[in-house]
Amino acid sequence: MSELLLQPGLVVAAYLLGSVSSAIIVCKLMGLGDPREAGSGNPGATNVLRIGGERGKLAAGITLAGDMLKGLVPVLLAHALGFDPLWIVLVGLAAFLGHLYPLFFQFKGGKGVATMLGILLALNFWAGLATVATWLFVAKVLKISSLSALIATLLAPIYLYFIVGELSWVLVTALMTTVLFWRHRSNIGRLLRGEESLIKAKKPE
C-alpha cells in the first residue's frame, strides 16, 4: 500500500514545491518589492534582473537557481526511488504546473522556463544540457529572453527523442512546451511586432 501511495504522493509534493515562488521570496528578502507589481509583472528571473538595480544580477541568479531546483530535485528523487518513466515525468509536470499555477500565490505564477530546464536536466542530463546550451546561445546572440526560451523549449522534445527515445517523456515535454508557448503569448505578440525588450538590468537611480 505504501508503494502505491508513494508515486502520487511525490507528484503532489512536487506540485507544492513548484508552488513556492523563488522570485517573490528572493525579492522580499532583498528588499526589492513584489516582482508581480513591477517591470513585466512576471515572478521570474528575467523580471527580477530588470527591477533589481545594482543587486539585480545576484537576485536573478538566486531566483533562477531556485526555480531550476524546483524541477530538478523532485525528478531526481523519482529516479532514485526507481519510479517507472511515466511517473518520473509526471512528477516533473507537477512541479512545472506548480510554478505556473502556485497554490500559495492565488494560482498566479511564472512562465516556467527555468523549472522546465531543471526538469529536463533531471530527466536526462545531456538532453537538458542541450536545451540549456540552446537557451544560452540564443540569449547571447539575440539578447531576447523570451525568444531564447521559446526556441530552447521547442527543441527540447526533439533532443529527448533522439537522446533517450522514451515516448512518455517526449510527449509530456511537448505538452509543457505547448503550455509554455501559451504563457508567452503576449511575448510572442511583441516579438512579431518587434517590440520585445532585451535582457538587461535596470540601472540604479
DSSP state of 165: -
Higher per-residue confidence, 34 vs 133: 133
Give CA separation, 204 vs 41, 57, 71, 200, 201, in Å. 19, 12, 32, 12, 9
Dump pLDDT digits (tens) for 29-78: 888 888 888 877 788 887 888 887 777 788 889 999 999 999 999 999 99
76-129: per-residue pLDDT in tens?
999 999 999 999 999 999 999 999 999 988 888 888 999 999 999 999 999 999
pLDDT per residue over 151-203, tens digit each? 999 999 999 999 999 999 999 999 999 999 999 888 888 888 887 777 654 44
d(CA 163, CA 190) in angstroms, rounded, equals 33
Give residue for cell 533562477.
Answer: 64
Cell of 200: 538587461
Kindly indicate the confidence band of residue 3, based on its pLDDT and cuts at 50, 70 and 90. Answer: low
